[in-house]
Structure 1
Amino acid sequence: MVCVWSEIDTPSIAEMTRNSPEPVTRDVMAILMKIYLFTYNLIQFLGFVWIFSKMTARLVLEGKESVYHTFKFCWTTMFICQILAVVEVINPALGLVNTAVFPAMVQVMGRNVILFVIFGSLAEMQNRVVVFFVFYLWSTIEIFRYPFYMLASIGLEWRLLTWLRYTVWTLLYPLGTVAEAVAVVQSLSLFDASGLYSIPLPAALGQSISFSLTLKLYLFVMFLGLFINMRHLISQRRRHFLRRELKVD
């Protein structure tokens, strides 16, 4: 396999340091920003590679029984990766990277609901097959996305990786959303039975409002979020490959 490397633009770093009073200060800030972005994406990449590798190895060695224990063996690393993912909302908000804040927030908050609220709060959900599919699809997406941004942070591009980063999501993102929706649907009866996160009401109005009602509304928001992210990613893909064609011409 031939690896083709090329320089790519990192305009956000340049924009951030352009107004600095001293050239040396600009250079130092640019280097520090590259180190920060490279390190963050490297940590996330290693975390999701570990999850993906662990799940794959257990599936090969133990067979289908391993899928029921996915949460037990992977939850710690997945929790850490997802907590760190909040940085992906902060970075564009501060202008450190050139990407829209809202699509990043939609993805991070959506995963937080599935991971912390549904899987983390309901022990009955943790041994279900849907956990395997959600974790596996998330990991597959990220083992292409994070190394792409890791290289981009230092101005490099591996064209095969770029093509994969801007292509695999067309299948994996919708599948991931479907898996998340299945997890939400499966949790509805559990929230109803347990009363977890229910909103108490005065006696005259009834006992409480079940949290499952919120999740039913969230199902609509989830697919709206998929539409927003798909549109954003399609725009990114077109812009990236159009820029490359213009450079080639």
Structure 2
Amino acid sequence: MRCSIRLVYLLIYNLLQFSGSTWIFANMTARFLFFGRGAHPDMFYSVGVVMSLCQLLSMLEFFHIADSLEKARLLPRIIQVMERNLLLFVVFVSQEEFQSNPIVCVQFYLWNIAQLLRYPHTLLCLVSSTLSANTLWAHHTFSIPVYVLSVLTEGISIWQALPYFENGMYSIQLTAPVQVFIHFPYVLMAYLPLLAAAAMVTVWLLLKERKQQLDCWNKKLKRK
């Protein structure tokens, strides 16, 4: 009974994420088909709430992996989810004027393409014990360049958002008489090399995982 409850929970979770990503992708595509270049100024208002809910919900995946509900590497998942949530809530949500920037639409597209590569594959793994070689290869191959492109646009988004934070000054009380002021654009600029380093580690782990999965599949075929 315990396993069946876990299975139902994972099916519902992945189906919700897949449905949310599909709705966002379809909504954005329809708006571009109808309004063309005029679609991006209010794109965030049309899909931002659902995107925020999906990204917040994705933090549950840390517990899925830690509790062995999902077989995946924890570190790359933490990096990917935190990268997106930091950019979404610290930059996109907090700066309303920046939400009409075209890079936000590009970022949302790449995030949802990555989700549409992940969650259908996870659903297939839950309902079927055997996957075709093409499905396995496509998931582990296409998700890597999509992730690289999404990290590149994340860096561009942060760089383009720097002028919107020029008035952002935060203070830290070190001791009673000492107060340090931090210019927030400097924090964002310091985050960029961390983003690049985390992305390189994630890509290396994803390539390693891809090799392991494909090797396991080839061994199963040889045994048959």
- Provide the TM-score with structure 1 as the length reference: 0.82
In 2, the alpha carbon distance for the partners of 1:90 and 1:74 equals 26
Q: What CA deviation, in whole Å up to 9, does each residue of 1:106-151 have, x standing for no partner?
A: 1111111110110010111111111100000001111111010112
| Cα drift, residue 96 of structure 1 | 2.1
Work out the number of aligned pairs and report it.
219
In 2, the alpha carbon distance for the partners of 1:163 and 1:183 equals 30
CA contact (8 A) 1:38 1:151 kept: no
CA contact (8 A) 1:68 1:127 kept: yes
Question: Is residue 71 from structure 1 mapped to residue 60 from structure 2 by the alignment?
Answer: no
1:86 aligned to which of 59, 82, 87? 59
Runs of 4+ off more than 6 Å: 204-207
Whichever residue aligns with residue 171 of structure 2, its letter is I
1:168 is matched with 142
* Aligned-residue RMSD, C-alpha: 1.9
Q: What CA deviation, in whole Å up to 9, does each residue of 1:170-194 have, x standing for no partner?
A: 321111111111111112121122x
2:32 is matched with 59
Whichever residue aligns with residue 199 of structure 1, its letter is S
User: 1:90-169 residue pairs with structure 2 within 5 A?
Assistant: 90-156=63-129, 157-169=131-143
Query: What residue ranges of structure 2 are gaps of 5+ in the alignment?
Result: none
Over the matched positions of the two proteins, sequence identity in percent amounts to: 29
| Cα drift, residue 154 of structure 1 | 2.8
In 2, the alpha carbon distance for the partners of 1:66 and 1:158 equals 38
Q: What CA deviation, in whole Å up to 9, does each residue of 1:51-106 have, x standing for no partner?
A: 11111111111111112222111101101100100111111122222222221111
In 2, the alpha carbon distance for the partners of 1:34 and 1:96 equals 9
Q: In 2 relative to 1, CA 199–158 (structure 1 residues): closer, same or farther, beyond 3 Å?
A: farther
| Cα drift, residue 158 of structure 1 | 4.8
CA contact (8 A) 1:199 1:211 kept: no
| Cα drift, residue 233 of structure 1 | 1.2
Q: Say which structure is richer in helix.
A: 2
Query: What residue ranges of structure 1 are gaps of 5+ in the alignment?
Result: 1-27
In 1, the alpha carbon distance for the partners of 2:179 and 2:74 equals 40
CA contact (8 A) 2:137 2:214 kept: no
Whichever residue aligns with residue 205 of structure 2, its letter is H
Tell me which moved more, 55-64 or 152-161. Answer: 152-161
In 2, the alpha carbon distance for the partners of 1:237 and 1:151 equals 17
SS of aligned partner of 1:98:
coil
1:221 is matched with 194
Of structures 1 and 2, the one scoring higher in RCO (CA 8 A, sep 6+) is 1
SS of aligned partner of 1:99:
coil
CA contact (8 A) 2:32 2:39 kept: yes
SS of aligned partner of 1:168:
helix
